[in-house]
Amino acid sequence: MVRFLLPVMSLILVSCISGEERLQNLFDDHWEYSLTDQPLFATNQGDHRFNDKLPETSIESMERRYEQAKEFLVRLDHIQRENLSEASKLNYDIFKIQLENEVRAYELNDHLLPLNGWWDYHASFADLAGRVPLNTVEDYNNYLSRLRAFRMYNEGYIERMRAGLVLGFVRPEEVFEDYMASIEALIPEVPEESRLYEPFESFPESFTEEERQRLSADAADVIGEVVNPEFERLLRFLEDEYIPGASESPGITEVPGGEEYYAWLVQMHTTMEITPVEVHRTGLDEVSRIRSEMMEIVRETGFGEDFEGFIEFLRTDPQFYAETPEELLQKTAMVLKTMDGKLPELFKTLPRLPYGIRPVPDYLAPRTATAYYSRGSADGTRAGYYAVNTYDLRSRPLYEVTALSLHEAVPGHHLQIALHQELEGLPKFRSVSGFTAYTEGWALYSERLGLDTGMYDDPYQNFGRLSYEMWRALRLVVDTGIHSMGWSREEAVQYMAENSALSLHNIRSEVNRYIFWPGQALAYKMGEIKIRELRENAERELGVDFDLREFHDVILLSGSVPLQVLDENVNDWIESVSVQ
């Protein structure tokens, strides 16, 4: 493993270099370290030096990364921030925050909880063919090498979970009820039926018949002898060791060190100096406000004060549900093509990278979210895509399609992330990283932009928007309730069912997510509240001089930043417009 600690003589020599140069050298060294340490990341960035390797995942490798992060922090501390340009000060601050989070995460044993139920390593590995180049014989050989490396890759994750078991630092038992199916689905009866075998069913035309036969035979061997047995090994480990030793309580604060860990997760995910109790109170206030707006639509549609009756109507009337997956995808595509035409009303700057729509893979669909976005490649050779879950169509109401699509694609995740990737002048580490409170806060705020463009053209679509906003507000209450206030899973499910139009299937999946991945879901609403507050303040301060398109440039064109930085950027813009 490459080390990046400077020798003593080098530390003496750098004293002759300006702070700006030293900071850039540090960024360059960290970038090279990141590429070397994370081969899949390197491939995604168009660096093909390590196309035959997987990252190291063992406890030893995690300790090494921890020590390396501390070394980078020492080098950063030797650079005098006050002598840097304003842009470099921002880069310095963000780099420091990310390194400090990496260090603190290790110290709080975050690395012993590698499963969070979202896009875990076994699921992402099963999608390997969609993440690597497969154009030449060498590409195929590299792909096979990575399949062979899955044994050590899997072993490292299991080693870390075993260490967590020893400490009692584990995920709760109840989130694994339907989790095992996501692994079982990756173990076919014969290797040729594996998702990882798909590249060997259709080769580039330039391959000879001999090359095709050899590669196909090698793939069947490695999938049958390495990959499938390792998926089975993970399954047995979870069934025989991890789940029997898992926590009985859903709250992370019930495991050793959990209270301190959760307090850090709340601040890390929200980028705010805030406590779980304060987040909980904010959530209660937002739930009350949104419920009032929902009731206006309930009355408007003739249900009077009967909220439960209206929800039952939404959950049972056939008009609100697609009959086929194709119908759901078509409705989604129509919404997004309509919004595509309205984007210039909202934005001065739009990304070049396109996006597409596809269904969530069958093996993931039963246990994953309603939809998700996957970013395109940094070099522009692969578009972003919006994955729509077409499993269990009765849990995918059409009145939610508009809000969900604006969140995941445009003007939400795709627009923001693609713009971020295309920004010039950012250090490379910032072009590929960010803050959940910013990215998810922006996506939730984007749902509201449908109001500015007439996208919610009937009360049911608007109720769907409010339902989604309520969903994110409920997270503030439920996540902190489970992890800080002793709530059970059923209490969380009941609270969400009483205050939203979400299907019970989605509610249970979501509550499992909050249990599995503490704190992450808080970022959405806390980020959206901040962006909404900044817009309201700018509108109030600037009056007729407020320009929504300019405001969105201020929010988007500095890239993903902590909420405090976003606050400073908007206030500086308000001041600059005010003095003109």
The pLDDT of residue 2: 43
Residue partners of 210: CB distance under 8 A and separation at least 6: none
Domain end point (choices 257, 283, 303): 257
β-bridge partners, 358? 387
Domain annotation covers residue 462: yes
Do 450 and 503 have their domain in common?
yes
Do 266 and 226 have their domain in common?
no
Domain annotation covers residue 562: yes
Instruction: Please indicate whether residue 504 or residue 329 has the higher confidence score (pLDDT).
Output: 329
| pTM for this predicted structure | 0.88
Number of domains comprising the chain:
3
Residue type, 426: L
Do 226 and 281 have their domain in common?
no
The pLDDT of residue 1: 42
Do 223 and 251 have their domain in common?
yes
Do 124 and 156 have their domain in common?
yes
The pLDDT of residue 9: 45
Domain annotation covers residue 2: no
d(CA 524, CA 532): 12
Residue with tokens 């400090």: 100
Domain annotation covers residue 95: yes
Do 513 and 534 have their domain in common?
no
Confidence band of 365 (pLDDT split at 50, 70, 90): confident
Cα separation values, 184 from 118, 154, 187, 236, 426, Å: 16, 15, 5, 11, 42
H helices present in 176-227, as ranges: 180-184, 209-222
Residue with tokens 């060498």: 138
Share of the chain above pLDDT 90, in %: 85
pLDDT surpasses 90 at 222:
yes
Q: pLDDT by residue (tens digit) across 77-121?
A: 999 999 999 999 999 999 999 999 999 999 999 999 999 987 899
pLDDT surpasses 80 at 503:
no
Confidence band of 249 (pLDDT split at 50, 70, 90): very high
Domain end point (choices 208, 227, 257): 257
Domain annotation covers residue 1: no
Order of strands across the sheet that contains 355-359: 355-359, 384-388, 371-374
Domain annotation covers residue 107: yes
Do 154 and 271 have their domain in common?
no
Do 242 and 293 have their domain in common?
no
Do 276 and 319 have their domain in common?
yes
H helices present in 317-458, as ranges: 325-346, 401-408, 413-422, 428-431, 436-452
Confidence band of 376 (pLDDT split at 50, 70, 90): confident
Contact 270, 522 (CB under 8 A): yes
Confidence band of 15 (pLDDT split at 50, 70, 90): low
Domain end point (choices 196, 225, 257): 257
Do 167 and 296 have their domain in common?
no
> Whole domain around residue 567: which residue ranges?
529-578
Do 237 and 355 have their domain in common?
no
The pLDDT of residue 287: 97
The pLDDT of residue 378: 73
Contact 298, 304 (CB under 8 A): yes
Cα separation values, 192 from 196, 197, 202, 213, Å: 9, 6, 12, 13
Q: Which element (helix H / strand E) includes 567?
A: helix 563-578
Domain annotation covers residue 3: no
Domain annotation covers residue 483: yes
Do 523 and 537 have their domain in common?
no
